[in-house]
Structure 1
């Protein structure tokens, strides 16, 4: 594809986003920005959340990772389904009963002000790093596909992409996101489906042949029963449950969309149908992974060194112009559908949790506007730092560290919901800092300390358990009341 064609495709895509923003942000105020006035149709939220959940990392990594770990990722997704059930039947009723704007307000009512600020702060840190990392990957693709051809430096690429996100989110906020996510989900899934169609067409297969090829391939092996493996079924399944609860149910980015539904029942229907669509979407990505490797073998194409490069390499160089365009839109959609909602969630959490914007008698809209700009600039700085590290393993490690901050959130909410014990609120932030540090040390030394045992996703449970233990040690006679 020529750089001008790439520019035209991306420009056209963002014009669509800006048009949606124009219609969804009319007469918007802070309530619209934070909650969409709680009028979002549940089916729209459910469909749009698929694109946000399948981030740019998933879009690129899952098909390529099939070559390393087969379909064992599906064990994790099976656990996700149980996690979504917990969200629907435990967390959704709680958040709607309390009429929360930020879900971390629960921690203030349950434990106290310090616990509340600790929970919100951990979300802000992890979400800033995570969203910046995902946007960094998208910016790298755009740099290679377009900006390099004109000698435009990377920082301009990053600044442009963040500016575009800011333009279509700064007025309508979460209301705009709910609608733009539907467009982005459509493009993301279309990229996968069209890629599969192109592959089976090039290999002279019909749908039945392709299904048989995928189902009989050794790479389609789902279960791993080796207890030492970080892909062991029980570890991965349990981790899928609790990571979903922590990184979806206790994440303002995700739950803010659920809380835009009209009532509790609509939000529960949204979670149920979203989880179904998400599961089958993941199956499509895994099937695509098998077909990509089979296509490369059939066409005698040399596999790239990094599995993450497999899908982009084939889509942009071997699938033809149309499939390449759809892939490019898909990767942009996947990245931006998570980055735009993250920017909105960060703005919401900071305004509600840190600034307590509802108590300000004047300039509430201006405050929100400035916070939105502030987080846009912060994401820009973080991405530039990622790029300056010039080491993908270091960047991935930073991203992994950010994931450890969800352990304290899971521990705080679990202790709050499963116990009625009060805690010494002023010491809670110390527990929340200590638990991920100890968990990270355990994760780095588990093989030498525990006879070859290697932690996988389940390190989150260890992190949360340490937090719960710390909270239990902070016992205070006055019990919680929620």
Structure 2
């Protein structure tokens, strides 16, 4: 299919998103933007969150990594399941009991204003870096497969896509994103199923035959029992659990959609449904990755241009028929927008509420609050534009590794703050909290840089997030004292 035809599909998809945004944002106000007026349908939220959770990184990087790691990602997925259950039955009841708009309000109630601001600041840093890394991955593929041949520069592609996202999130916020995420998840899963089916048909394989071939090729290995390996089973499980608790349960973007559901019971149903769907979808992505690696030698694909993140696009664009290329691009664009739309909305919400104190400013009327929110929204879009260009300059071979590394440093403080608040009853000296929170990532960096000296052959992997959280907890313990009867909620 020609680049011009594929580009027209992208524009048509965007027009559909704008139509959904127009329908859902009529009569929207600040409550619609921040928490969807507390009347989101839990089934829509659950299904739509699949797309947000996976994004373009899973769509491209997880299949591409099968050649290196086999099905080892399932170890992390097991940790995800445990993490989602903890979010559903520990954190969600806490947020609903406090009736929060921003989940970092819990830190204000439990630990104090500096802890609240520190948590919000680390969320803003974490989500900004993670979302722009995800966005870069998919924009770069669109650029390489369509827009380079049309003579469009990368910066222009980046600018236009962010303007598109700005247009359909500007008014409706969460109220709109609940619906657009549902549409985008549908598009992503359609591409996954169709591409998997085509590869099975092309190689004349059934499900059991293909798994046997993957096993023979060393692509289906799951367990890593070498304690020194970064992929050791228990490290992956515990890290997966910590990643989910921190990157979902302590992340305003993910929780903003959950707390837009009317009751905690329905929000818990949403989280359990998300867990079940997500496990099935991730297993299918790994299966697709195995098929791609079986097919690549048959199609004569080899070298850096057909490995890692580049494998899936290379197979689709070089060997699949035009109709499936079209479906792939619908899926790719569907994976692109959840990488940024919910992030920009949540970042706007957190910055307005947690940093600027929008809800505490009694002198501002609804119109003034809306104007301030619009300016912040525009500011984050501009920041995303700059950071995507920075990732283009860096250009890593596997963005999922970059994103998980960033998460280890930036979500660790959130994990430490929330865990300290929930697991202890101690009172912190509020003014020293930012120092304790910053010390954790700094010490983690020093540990990471000196692994060989400290641990010998043992190699740190995703457990860096847990270490970071424990260091922050230790720092908070040092600046705390036994609880006094201050009416705190824990």
Q: Could you give the per-residue CA deviations for residues 17-53 of structure 1, whole angstroms, max 9, x where no partner exists?
A: 1111011101000000000011111111111111111
Which residue in 2 is equivalent to 1:58?
Answer: 58
Residue 445 of structure 2 corresponds to residue 440 of structure 1: yes
Which residue in 2 is equivalent to 1:46?
Answer: 46
Which residue in 2 is equivalent to 1:330?
Answer: 331
TM-score of the pair, normalised by structure 2: 0.95
Q: Could you give the per-residue CA deviations for residues 285-324 of structure 1, whole angstroms, max 9, x where no partner exists?
A: 0000111111123333335454111111101111111111
Q: Could you give the per-residue CA deviations for residues 250-285 of structure 1, whole angstroms, max 9, x where no partner exists?
A: 000111111111100000000001000000000000
SS at match of 2:376: helix
Compared CA separation, residues 476 and 417, structure 1 to 2 (3 A): same
Which residue in 1 is equivalent to 2:434?
Answer: 429
**Deviation for aligned residue 1:213:** 4.0
**Deviation for aligned residue 1:390:** 5.5
Which residue in 2 is equivalent to 1:160?
Answer: 160
Which residue in 2 is equivalent to 1:377?
Answer: 382
**Cα contact 2:61–2:309 (8 A) shared by 1:** yes
**Cα contact 1:352–1:358 (8 A) shared by 2:** yes
**Cα contact 2:77–2:240 (8 A) shared by 1:** yes
Which residue in 1 is equivalent to 2:223?
Answer: 223
Which residue in 2 is equivalent to 1:472?
Answer: 477
Which residue in 2 is equivalent to 1:19?
Answer: 19
Which residue in 1 is equivalent to 2:104?
Answer: 104
What pairs with 1:182-193 in structure 2 (closer than 5 Å)?
Answer: 182-193=182-193
Residue 195 of structure 2 corresponds to residue 195 of structure 1: yes
**Partner Cα separation in structure 1 for residue 377 and residue 188 of structure 2:** 26
**Partner Cα separation in structure 1 for residue 194 and residue 253 of structure 2:** 29
**Partner Cα separation in structure 1 for residue 347 and residue 122 of structure 2:** 11
**Partner Cα separation in structure 2 for residue 411 and residue 208 of structure 1:** 44
**Cα contact 1:389–1:395 (8 A) shared by 2:** no
Q: Could you give the per-residue CA deviations for residues 420-441 of structure 1, whole angstroms, max 9, x where no partner exists?
A: 1000010110111110111122
**Partner Cα separation in structure 2 for residue 226 and residue 61 of structure 1:** 24
**Deviation for aligned residue 1:415:** 0.5
Stretches of structure 2 that go unaligned for 5 or more consecutive residues are none
TM-score of the pair, normalised by structure 1: 0.96
Q: Could you give the per-residue CA deviations for residues 212-253 of structure 1, whole angstroms, max 9, x where no partner exists?
A: 545665311111100000000000001111111011100001
Residue 311 of structure 2 corresponds to residue 310 of structure 1: yes
Greater displacement, 136-145 / 98-107: 136-145
**Partner Cα separation in structure 2 for residue 333 and residue 344 of structure 1:** 17
**Partner Cα separation in structure 1 for residue 393 and residue 400 of structure 2:** 10
**Partner Cα separation in structure 2 for residue 152 and residue 243 of structure 1:** 37
Compared CA separation, residues 393 and 205, structure 1 to 2 (3 A): closer
Which residue in 2 is equivalent to 1:172?
Answer: 172
Q: Root-mean-square deviation (CA), in Å? A: 1.8
**Partner Cα separation in structure 1 for residue 419 and residue 73 of structure 2:** 26
Alignment coverage as a number of residue pairs: 482
**Cα contact 2:57–2:400 (8 A) shared by 1:** no
Compared CA separation, residues 114 and 377, structure 1 to 2 (3 A): same
**Partner Cα separation in structure 1 for residue 76 and residue 401 of structure 2:** 20
SS at match of 2:226: coil
Compared CA separation, residues 215 and 41, structure 1 to 2 (3 A): farther
Which residue in 2 is equivalent to 1:34?
Answer: 34
Q: Could you give the per-residue CA deviations for residues 434-454 of structure 1, whole angstroms, max 9, x where no partner exists?
A: 101111221232133212111
**Partner Cα separation in structure 1 for residue 400 and residue 210 of structure 2:** 37
SS at match of 1:404: helix
**Cα contact 1:129–1:399 (8 A) shared by 2:** no
**Cα contact 1:317–1:324 (8 A) shared by 2:** no
